[in-house]
Chain A
Amino acid sequence: MRSSYLLLPALLLFLVSCSEKHPDGASLINKEASLPAAFNFSKMGLKVITSSINKKQGTMSTLYGNDLALNTAKAGRPAQPGEVLALITWKQKDDDRWFGAKIPGKLQSMEMINTTAAPGAAATVTYKHYDGDQMALNPDTLVNQERIKYIFDQKPSVMP
């Protein structure tokens, strides 16, 4: 019986080292930054074009696009019909897993650009702006032209 007293500390140590909790997958998702599933964004198959940070507003954005949008931007050509671009913006938050890093926090807005063929012009640009929790379509068109220009002016990030 006495030998089991000796074993006890060893056993405890063993249990402590094995008791590490593994959170389930769902809890590891960055939920507040995630897009509403109904948007089916990933089905569009857009690739990353570039990423940016607005320090004053404490936001970070990623610009996505289809192949045509990326190639047009790389070549420095004006918009071609058939381009799809999406600019998603998040509030930044501190990364609780790395002191010194900021990651996407609350989802703030999504801006979508589609270009279609237009007679007599290079392309017709359609711009849509979604925001809020449910990414509702924002009817305000006041800054549309400014935003379209901003998005088309983004230089793609170098990705060898």
Chain B
Amino acid sequence: MSTAAKPPLKRIVLPVFFALIFCFIVLQFVNRPLITNPPVTGEIEAPAQVKAILKKACYDCHSNETNLRWYDKVNPVYHMVAEDVTEGRKGLNFSTWKDLAAPDQKGKLWEAVNQIIAGAMPLKNYTAVHPGAKVSLEDLAVLKKYLSDMVVSKPADTSKTNALDKQYKNWTKETAAQTAPSVSSNGIAYIPDYKNWQVISTTDRVDNGSMRVITGNDIAIKAIKENHINPWPNGTIFAKIGWDKIADVDGNVHTGAFKQVEFMIKDDKKYASTKGWGFARFKTPKLLPYGKTKLFATECVNCHRPESANDFVFTSPVKH
């Protein structure tokens, strides 16, 4: 055992240490991102109890009332904080809430609460530093009740029945002559064959008053049969078909007007930037592609993020 090989503390360790300190100080002044609080133009209105939870758990990143503590402003943390705030406001901003149409507001709220239930929000690295932002079980119960109370279940109104009748007439007399295929802004074309695929499951959506049937192509069905669904094999395609709900007087609910069909196409290389899945949504019988630019898929990924351990898939398949 030789002690002569020990590096001299003063010659190497100390200069490196001071160099790091110097870099740290410089880092505080260069290239500082700017977090401003733009005006609050149309804030969400909610019962005081609900709003208090949103304020403590969400507002730092999802409003124009970001409250930075001194330790949030120290780089390199500050850079991360700035990115979280920018991204957060883009996805959901309670200060510009009234810019959203009423159904979108509802959708965002249900999604937000589901993100909290799944533990995806508030972000773990945020609550680690701001433990006060954690959503307790009591808080969650308040939020859930708030959402449940918003659900109104009405018997069929004539506008829904009329919408269905009109669609149904056009659909049943439809001939083979189809218009040009609809293509989503990320290049995914509408796949008419989805209705010939086997069924994977169904969903009754209380939150947005819709019903869904999920079908899968042969690769998906084979994967289900063999339990090879985490991850799903490349080539898997799901279609989720969504309709309005129409209830009769006996409490039987049937599918109303066709709202949309959504696709998830698995290709871990081609769609690497969106977690290995290509997303597309075609709305109304005109099959209008959703999303003006291909950035719309970020919205899909963000909502599917709580299912990251399940290959970003919500559906639990039923073997048929």
What residues make up the interface of A, taking CB atoms closer than 8 Å to B?
13, 16, 20-26, 28-30, 33-35, 37, 41-42, 45, 47-48, 50-56, 60, 62, 64, 74-76, 92, 95, 97-104, 155, 157-160
A60 and B204 form a contact (CB under 8 A): yes
A99 and B241 form a contact (CB under 8 A): no
Known: A25-B230, A100-B110, A157-B243. A64 touches B199 (CB 8 A): yes
| Closest beta carbon of chain A to B49's beta carbon, Å | 18
Chain B residue, CB-CB nearest to A75: B172
Known pairs A157-B255, A159-B241. 4 more at Cβ < 8 A?
A: A42-B198, A56-B250, A99-B110, A100-B114
B309 and A101 form a contact (CB under 8 A): no
| Closest beta carbon of chain B to A20's beta carbon, Å | 5
A100 and B147 form a contact (CB under 8 A): yes
Residues from chain A with a CB closer than 8 A to the CB of B221 are 42
Residues from chain B with a CB closer than 8 A to the CB of A37 are 319
Chain B residue, CB-CB nearest to A102: B204
Cα distance, A28 to B257, chains bound together (Å): 31
Residues from chain B with a CB closer than 8 A to the CB of A42 are 198, 221, 225, 320
| Closest beta carbon of chain B to A96's beta carbon, Å | 9
Chain A residue, CB-CB nearest to B311: A22
| Closest beta carbon of chain A to B113's beta carbon, Å | 6
List 14 A-B residue pairs with CB atoms under 8 Å apart, sorted by A's residue number. Answer: A22-B230, A23-B310, A24-B230, A29-B227, A33-B318, A37-B319, A54-B251, A74-B171, A98-B203, A102-B203, A103-B202, A103-B204, A104-B201, A104-B318
Known: A28-B310, A47-B196, A52-B255. A23 touches B230 (CB 8 A): yes
Known: A56-B251, A100-B207, A160-B285. A28 touches B114 (CB 8 A): no
Chain A residue, CB-CB nearest to B284: A160
Residues from chain B with a CB closer than 8 A to the CB of A16 are 124
Contact with A along B239-279 (1 / 0, CB 8 A): 00101010100111111011001000000000000000000
| Closest beta carbon of chain A to B220's beta carbon, Å | 12
Residues from chain A with a CB closer than 8 A to the CB of B114 are 98-100
Residues from chain B with a CB closer than 8 A to the CB of A92 are 204
| Closest beta carbon of chain A to B161's beta carbon, Å | 12
B287 and A160 form a contact (CB under 8 A): yes
Cα distance, A21 to B310, chains bound together (Å): 9
Q: Which 10 interchain pairs have the tightest Cβ spacing?
A: A100-B207, A34-B319, A55-B251, A25-B227, A53-B253, A158-B258, A157-B255, A102-B204, A30-B316, A26-B227
A158 and B167 form a contact (CB under 8 A): yes
Name the interface residues of B84-116: CB closer than 8 Å to any CB of A: 110, 113-114
Residues from chain A with a CB closer than 8 A to the CB of B306 are 97
A103 and B316 form a contact (CB under 8 A): yes
A101 and B203 form a contact (CB under 8 A): yes
A101 and B201 form a contact (CB under 8 A): no
B230 and A158 form a contact (CB under 8 A): no
CB of B229 within 8 Å of the partner chain: yes
Chain B residue, CB-CB nearest to A107: B318
Cα distance, A157 to B241, chains bound together (Å): 10
Among candidates B110, B205, B215, B255, residue contacting A50 with C-beta atoms closer than 8 Å: B255
Contact with A along B187-206 (1 / 0, CB 8 A): 00000001111110111111
A100 and B213 form a contact (CB under 8 A): no
Cα distance, A155 to B164, chains bound together (Å): 11
Cα distance, A101 to B310, chains bound together (Å): 18
Residues from chain B with a CB closer than 8 A to the CB of A76 are 172
Among candidates A23, A97, A160, residue contacting B314 with C-beta atoms closer than 8 Å: A97
CB of B40 within 8 Å of the partner chain: no
A101 and B164 form a contact (CB under 8 A): no
